Amino acid sequence: MARYMTRYDNNKELWLSFLAAILITAVYAGVVYWKRAIPPAGALFGHLLGILGFILMLLTETLYSIRKRSHSARWGSMASWLQFHIFTGLVGPYLVLLHTSWKFNGLAGAATLLTLLIVISGFIGRYIYTQIPRSLDGIEIETPSGQFQASALARARRLLAVWHIIHIPIGMALFTAAFIHIGAALYYATLLR
């Protein structure tokens, strides 16, 4: 008997993200206590937060997309890759938020706003995604008789298509802004010193 994913089967990526955020917050609070100040974005700890956050966000964007488009790949189920995508898509932006030193001006502020929009969009997309029945591998399946109405399933599929049209350009704008920010930070903070 095939087992189908329900919308509540896979919340472990959210719990792991929450636990990672608690751990990161504890380390951040320890640094704030030790330094008696919020770590500047341009200091070693601030840079470390930004670099780790950006790497996680880059992994979020690239690895899941590559796996999703590689139909012949056998390296992990789509469900596992989606969980990885969600985990890194929450933890990475949180690290980047801490990297900002709570200053949101200029291009870095715009990148932070785009990061917030992409995270919110990701939560919406996850909700829509869970409305479409899938196998344990994350492959969309036809609904077992009587479990879902066909019109509700068609509506969820249309919403997911519209969501992709919005989510992907926000991600592209975010990474464009992030790469410009990184380039400017390297130029002004490193090369001009």
Taking only the tens place, the pLDDT of each residue in 139-156 is 566 655 555 576 777 777
**Is a pLDDT exceeding 50 seen at residue 5?**
no
Strands (E), the chain: 4-5, 134-135
What value does the mean pLDDT take over residues 170-178? 89
How many separate domains does the chain show?
A: 1
Residue type present at position 22: I
- Tens digit of pLDDT for each residue in 46-96? 889 988 999 998 888 888 777 777 767 677 777 777 888 889 989 999 999
Q: What is the dihedral of CA 129, 127, 57, 184, to 10 degrees?
A: 120
3 state SS of 20: helix
Long-range Cβ contact pairs of 44-49 (< 8 A, separation 24 or more): 46/99, 46/101, 47/99, 49/95, 49/96, 49/98, 49/99
Indicate whether 49 belongs to any domain: yes
pTM of the model: 0.76
Q: Is residue 18 part of a domain?
A: no
Q: Which residue has the higher pLDDT, 22 or 110?
A: 22
**CA separation (Å) from 137 to 60, 88, 98, 130, 179?**
19, 19, 34, 13, 33
CA angle 78, 6, 20 (to 5 degrees): 60
Would 65 be classed as within a structural domain?
A: yes
Q: Is residue 6 part of a domain?
A: no
User: Whole-angstrom Cα distance, residue 101 to residue 147?
Assistant: 49
For the cut 70, the answer to whether the pLDDT of residue 135 exceeds it is no
Instruction: Note whether 60 and 17 are within 8 A (CB).
Output: no
Is there a domain that residue 157 lies in?
yes
Q: Can you give the residue range of the structural domain that contains 174?
A: 39-191
Q: Closest by alpha carbon to 160, among 120, 118, 128, 112?
A: 128
Residue 17 resides in a domain = no
98 domain residue, yes or no: yes
Q: Centre a 10 Å sphere on the Cβ of residue 22 and count the other Cβ atoms it contains.
A: 9
In a domain, 22, yes or no: no
Of 118, 97, 123, 79, the residue nearest 41 (C-alpha): 97
